[in-house]
C-alpha cells in the first residue's frame, strides 16, 4: 500500500504537531501533510515529561525571541488553537522565573539581563534586600543577587499544549498516522519516500525530522551525523507542610530548580557535564534527591526542611552535544530533508516559534519572522558552537 503527501513529519510530539499546525494554517501552503507518530499515548516522549517552563532569561538572542513568541502564543492559544467553540486550557501560570547568584554568576546575570531587555523581555535585576522583601520565604544570606522575569515567564501544562496543537492540526486536515518510520528511500539527493514499519510507503515532497531523542538515527539514514543524544533527567514531586505563596520557578546558584505544581512542588537538577551519560531507561535515582536536591532546597528555602517526597519521574532531553541549542533547517546535501532537533531541555517553550519557523522554510524557502539561520546544521559541520549560558 502507498499514499502520497507533500510533507511528512516524523514524530508527533509538541514540535512535530506544532510544525503540522503552523504549516496547515499557512495560507501560502496548500499541500497535504502527514504526521507519523509511533505511540499516540506519548508514554515515553519528552513532551509530557517536561516541567513546562517558559522564560526569556536566555543568553542567546534567538532563544530570547523564540520564547517571547512562545509566551505570546501560549497566552493567545484560545484564539489560535480553538476547534469550533472548544478552546484549549493550557493552565499557563505567569509566575516568573528567578535565577539566583552567589557572586560568581552575577556578571552573567547582569549581561544577560541587558540583552534580554534590549529584546523586549521584562527581566529585573534584584539585590539580596529586594529579593528578601519580595520573596520572604527565600534565604538570601549568601546571595549576591538575582534576576526575575515577572512577565511572559512561568509554566504551563505540556500535555495540553501538545494535544491542542494536535487537535487543531487535525481540524485543518493534517493526517496523523500511527506507525513507526523504519527507513527513507533516497534518489538523486532527495528523500523520495518514507517507509513505515507496517509495510506502507509514503511518497513525499519533503520530510521533517521531529523525532526527539530518536532524531539522530533518522538523520543517519540521509547521511547526517546529528550530535543529539538522549540524556536522562529526573523530576521529583514533594509536599511542603508550610504554605508558601508567590513562588516563581526558582533556580538556585547550584542549578537545583523548584516550582509549585498545584498544591505541591516539583524540582530537579541537571548533572555535571562529565556525569551525564547517554541513557534511554527510566530508572529513578532517589539518592540524587536525598543527597543533593533536598539539602540544597532546605538551605535556600527553610520551609523545605519539612517536606515529603511524593513521587518522581524520569524523562530524556534530546541533548545537543555541540552547544545545547536547537538544530533547525534543511540538510545541506538533502534539499527536502528538514529537521528541528537537539532542544536540550527547552523544546516545549520553543515549539510555537520552531513550528512556525519550519512552516516558513517549507512554504517560502526562508525565515520570515525570527532569523534562525545561525541555528542551522552548518554550524555542526563547521564546529561553530553557539553557547547558551542559561541551560537548566
Residues that bind ligand FAD (CB under 6 A): 10-16, 36-39, 42, 45-47, 49-53, 180-181, 210-212, 214, 233, 235, 315-318, 343, 345-349
d(CA 361, CA 186): 21
- DSSP annotation of 112 reads H
Q: How far is the CB of 165 from ligand FAD (least distance, A)?
A: 10
Q: Output the CA–CA distances (angstroms, integers) from residue 228 to 218, 225, 339, 380, in the order listed.
A: 11, 9, 12, 11
Least Cβ distance, residue 95 to ligand FAD (angstroms): 13
Q: What is the 3-state secondary structure (H, E, C) of 122-138?
A: CCEEECHHHHHHHCCCC
3 state SS of 320: strand
**Is residue 10 a contact partner of residue 16, using CB atoms and an 8 Å limit?**
yes
Q: How far is the CB of 252 from ligand FAD (least distance, A)?
A: 16
Identity of the residue, 220 or 306, whose beta carbon is nearer to ligand FAD in the bound complex: 220
Shortest reach from residue 129's CB to ligand FAD, in Å: 29
Q: Which residue's CB is nearer to ligand FAD, number 317 or number 375?
A: 317
Give me the least distance between CB of 193 and ligand FAD, in Å please. 14
Instruction: Specify the residue, 47 or 390, whose C-beta has the smaller distance to ligand FAD.
Output: 47
Whichever of 300 and 346 has its CB closer to ligand FAD, that residue is 346
CB of 354 to ligand FAD, least distance (A): 9
Quote the crossing angle between the two packed helices 14-25 and 347-364, to the nearest 10°: 40
> Looking at beta carbons only, is 1 or 104 nearer to ligand FAD?
1
CB distance 216 to 341 below 8 Å: yes
How far is 358 from 366, CA to CA, in rounded Å?
9
Asked if 213 and 229 count as a contact pair (C-beta separation under 8 A), the reply is yes
Residues in the chain: 392
Residue (36 or 191) nearer to ligand FAD, CB: 36
Shortest distance (Å) from residue 235 CB to ligand FAD? 5
Distance separating alpha carbons of residues 306 and 129, to the nearest angstrom: 25
In 3D, which of 55, 56, 53 has the Cα closest to residue 117?
56
- DSSP characters for 375-388? GSTHHHHHT-----
Please identify, using beta-carbon distances, which residue of 294 and 317 lies nearer to ligand FAD: 317
Least distance (Å) from ligand FAD to the CB of residue 34?
11
Q: Smallest distance from the beta carbon of 361 to ligand FAD, in angstroms?
A: 16
Helix (H), strand (E) at residue 204: strand 201-209
Find, among 165, 159, 154, 209, the residue nearest to 50 by Cα. 159
Cell of 41: 499515548
Nearer to ligand FAD by C-beta: 106 or 391?
391
309: left (phi over 0), alpha (psi -120 to 50) or beta: beta
Task: Kindly state the cell numbers that stand for 43.
Answer: 508514554
Q: Which three cell numbers stand for residue 166?
A: 494536535
Question: In the bound complex, what is the minimum distance in angstroms from residue 18's beta carbon to ligand FAD?
Answer: 8
218 vs 297, beta carbon nearer ligand FAD: 218
Cβ distance to ligand FAD smaller for residue 64 or 140: 64
Amino acid at each position: 500500500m502507498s499514499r502520497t503527501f507533500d510533507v511528512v513529519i516524523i514524530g508527533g510530539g509538541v514540535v512535530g504537531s506544532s510544525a503540522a499546525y503552523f504549516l496547515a494554517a499557512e495560507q501560502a501552503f496548500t499541500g497535504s501533510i502527514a504526521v507519523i507518530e509511533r505511540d499516540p499515548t506519548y508514554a515515553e516522549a519528552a513532551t509530557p515529561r517536561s516541567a513546562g517552563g517558559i522564560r526569556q532569561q536566555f543568553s542567546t538572542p534567538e532563544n530570547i525571541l523564540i520564547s517571547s513568541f512562545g509566551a505570546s502564543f501560549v497566552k493567545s492559544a484560545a484564539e489560535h488553537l480553538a476547534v469550533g467553540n472548544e478552546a484549549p486550557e493550557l493552565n499557563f501560570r505567569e509566575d516568573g522565573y528567578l535565577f539566583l547568584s552567589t557572586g560568581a554568576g552575577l556578571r552573567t546575570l547582569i549581561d544577560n539581563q541587558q540583552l534580554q531587555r534590549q529584546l523586549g523581555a521584562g527581566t529585573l535585576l534584584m539585590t539580596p534586600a529586594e529579593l528578601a522583601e519580595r520573596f520572604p520565604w527565600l534565604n538570601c544570606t549568601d546571595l549576591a543577587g538575582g534576576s526575575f522575569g515577572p512577565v511572559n515567564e512561568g509554566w504551563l501544562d505540556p500535555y495540553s499544549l501538545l494535544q491542542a496543537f494536535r487537535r487543531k492540526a487535525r481540524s485543518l486536515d493534517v493526517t496523523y498516522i500511527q506507525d513507526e518510520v523504519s527507513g527513507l528511500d533516497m534518489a538523486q539527493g532527495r528523500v523520495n519516500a518514507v517507509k513505515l514499519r507496517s509495510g506502507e510507503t509514503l511518497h513525499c515532497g519533503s520530510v521533517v525530522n521531529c523525532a526527539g531523542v530518536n532524531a539522530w538515527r533518522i538523520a543517519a539514514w540521509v547521511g547526517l551525523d546529528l550530535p543529539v543524544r538522549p540524556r536522562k533527567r529526573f523530576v521529583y514531586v514533594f509536599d511542603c507542610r508550610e504554605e508558601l505563596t508567590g513562588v516563581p520557578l526558582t533556580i538556585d546558584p547550584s542549578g537545583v530548580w523548584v516550582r509549585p505544581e498545584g498544591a505541591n512542588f516539583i524540582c530537579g537538577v541537571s548533572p555535571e557535564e562529565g556525569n551525564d551519560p547517554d541513557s534511554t531507561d527510566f530508572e529513578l535515582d532517589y539518592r540524587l534527591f536525598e543527597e543533593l536536591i533536598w539539602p540544597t532546597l532546605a538551605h535556600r528555602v527553610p520551609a523545605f526542611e519539612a517536606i515529603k517526597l511524593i513521587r518522581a519521574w524520569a524523562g530524556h532531553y534530546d541533548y545537543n552535544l555541540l552547544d545545547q541549542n536547537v538544530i533547525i533547517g534543511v540538510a545541506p546535501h538533502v534539499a527536502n530533508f528538514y529537521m528541528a532537533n537537539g532542544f536540550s531541555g527547552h523544546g516545549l517553550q520553543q515549539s510555537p516559534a520552531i513550528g512556525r519557523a519550519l512552516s516558513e522554510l517549507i512554504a517560502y524557502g526562508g525565515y520570515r519572522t525570527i532569523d534562525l539561520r545561525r541555528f542551522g546544521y552548518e554550524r555542526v559541520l563547521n564546529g561553530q558552537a553557539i553557547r547558551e549560558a542559561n541551560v537548566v
